[in-house]
Homo-oligomer: A and B are copies of this chain.
């Protein structure tokens, strides 16, 4: 199993050199006093140390042992509980929570950066605190004062964990058809009854209480998504003095046997007249959930980035070590019985693809999380609104594109290992299995694609797209006289223009037939993803070029950035051409076959 090594140099490059986070925090009233480079780097190093030494060694253990269920009780793999205690002692759960509930009041973006390390070292483990984080943010945004006081301090400290209970067996992508019921009770609480599935961290032995955030329907609620309300349902009821009361009627009915993330318990949770408390207004549950869902989508984008990084680290080590055949241009290690496989162009192609997606994905995730900071902490409504638009636009791209490319990277990792990649002990196939879920949960790739093209792009008459392409336009204009950068600026400027043309083409067709949106959406999302990453790689090349010009001593590091940008533009970016061609063929080739005539 590859031992995880936090790519601190690259993280610092993105944070400090590409995105200037110190300047970013300096503009946000909540952080301008408190968050400087020294503090950021201290947190990164502490997290790197914890992830490398505590979490990474448990990654394969978690996969092999999995969670076990016995009569409603779930036991996590060896070492998971102890690692969680250390995580609490180090203060990670409270990092970005509000100070009045025991949080450290640091930016969420810093939490996201740390979650990358946690997730790359051990994704299944990271989901336990990750889900808690979602519950905390939902309560921070939508809970009543009393609810916050009752639940937040223990969730923030990490003593309790949280879950998000949305899915039911018949209702996944389509939450409008959930059936779980909430009956009002005389004491102002609600009796919650129903079965939820796919509840990550829904039951476990790592914390003394679990706070479920549950979607359910009130009696007589409107059908569909406008009749769903949100509830808090604790595993143990909480007494007025904050101590744990009696066990609530919430039970883990079973855990799923699944392809990957074995270390995380994916639970069926049964509510049988469980005591629940309404969060936010009646029938507005899905609106309250949006806060969480956007955060969760960025969190899932991190899983894609993590898969690229983890599989890259594993494959790179192997490719430098494993010997097979001679280079086509003559022996490169004549003293050995064969050359290390990193000499072969096809192997390099896979490694560079992983590298381009890992480092490019990192820049996209960090960019997003800074926009999320602005949305929550901007000094002015105008800044907030602008950041919110960009964030809304980029979120489905980052979620779908980074998870799909992360899955691709994970598969390259297996491929570089050859037959050994298929063997569990090397850990490469685990990355494939763990990552496969990322393209499914928190909205499948197809759902993200519809969200992007249907809701964000066409639904705003292109306004959100224009906000972003304008940013790219400004960048290409500002650098159009930079001769050394033209290999990136020219194709980027052309694709940026094409993005608008392509959208117009689809929009025109969609006026005649709305199915055109569904037919084009996935290819449109890939196009958008490749161009977005091209923009970020061009920016990274510029930073590297400037550092080289100003006499940096890290010549190899910055040259590698420029080389990787070039690889991305030459070997990855041409993939847009197929997507453009496919979009042009429209919806007809998809819709003419009758459902009954697919097979005979």
- Residues in A lying within 8 Å of B, measured CB to CB: 7, 9-10, 167, 170-174, 176-177, 198, 256-260, 312-313, 316, 320, 323-325, 327-329, 337-338, 340, 342-349, 351-352, 355, 411, 414-415, 418-425, 429, 432-433, 436-437, 439-441, 444-446, 449-450, 454, 513-515, 517-519, 521-522, 556-557, 559-560, 563-564, 566-567, 570-571, 574-578, 581-582, 585, 587, 589-600
A256-B423, A421-B440, A432-B436 are contacts. A518–B344 as well, Cβ < 8 Å? Answer: yes
Rounded to whole Å, the gap between the CB of A302 and the closest CB of chain B is 18
| Contact partners of A355 in chain B: CB under 8 A | 598-599
Measured CB to CB, the nearest residue on chain B to A554 is: B600
| Contact partners of A437 in chain B: CB under 8 A | 419, 422
A256-B423, A598-B355, A600-B556 are contacts. A446–B346 as well, Cβ < 8 Å? Answer: yes
Q: Could you list 8 A-B pairs, sorted by A, with CB under 8 Å?
A: A173-B325, A177-B337, A258-B424, A259-B414, A348-B591, A415-B445, A560-B597, A566-B589
Rounded to whole Å, the gap between the CB of A165 and the closest CB of chain B is 14
| Contact partners of A177 in chain B: CB under 8 A | 323-324, 337-338
Q: Which of A344, A515, A590 has the most CB of B within 10 A?
A: A590
A571 lies within 8 A of B560 (CB): no
A515 lies within 8 A of B325 (CB): no
A259 lies within 8 A of B570 (CB): no
Chain A binding surface, main DSSP class: helix
A176 and B337 CA atoms in complex are apart in Å by 9
B432 lies within 8 A of A419 (CB): no
Rounded to whole Å, the gap between the CB of A272 and the closest CB of chain B is 23
A553 and B421 CA atoms in complex are apart in Å by 50
Q: Which of A198, A352, A518, A585 has the most CB of B within 10 A?
A: A518
B418 lies within 8 A of A440 (CB): yes
* Residue in B419, B440, B575 whose beta carbon sits within 8 Å of that of A422 in the complex: B440
* Residue in B173, B345, B595 whose beta carbon sits within 8 Å of that of A519 in the complex: B345
Q: How many copies does the complex hold?
A: 2
Rounded to whole Å, the gap between the CB of A583 and the closest CB of chain B is 9
A446 lies within 8 A of B415 (CB): yes
B519 lies within 8 A of A349 (CB): yes
| Contact partners of A440 in chain B: CB under 8 A | 414-415, 418-419, 421-422
A418 lies within 8 A of B444 (CB): yes
A257 and B60 CA atoms in complex are apart in Å by 13
A557 and B575 CA atoms in complex are apart in Å by 34
| Contact partners of A418 in chain B: CB under 8 A | 172-173, 440, 444
A597 lies within 8 A of B559 (CB): yes
A342 lies within 8 A of B595 (CB): yes
Rounded to whole Å, the gap between the CB of A175 and the closest CB of chain B is 10
| Contact partners of A422 in chain B: CB under 8 A | 258-260, 436-437, 440
A349 and B446 CA atoms in complex are apart in Å by 11
Measured CB to CB, the nearest residue on chain B to A582 is: B574
B419 lies within 8 A of A593 (CB): no
A556 lies within 8 A of B258 (CB): no
Rounded to whole Å, the gap between the CB of A176 and the closest CB of chain B is 8
Measured CB to CB, the nearest residue on chain B to A344 is: B518
B323 lies within 8 A of A170 (CB): yes
B348 lies within 8 A of A590 (CB): yes
| Contact partners of A351 in chain B: CB under 8 A | 598
Q: Knowing that A556-B594, A567-B593 are A-B contacts, what are 6 other residue pairs whose CB atoms are under 8 Å apart, sorted by A's residue number?
A: A170-B323, A415-B445, A418-B444, A560-B597, A570-B585, A577-B581
B592 lies within 8 A of A563 (CB): yes
Rounded to whole Å, the gap between the CB of A447 and the closest CB of chain B is 9
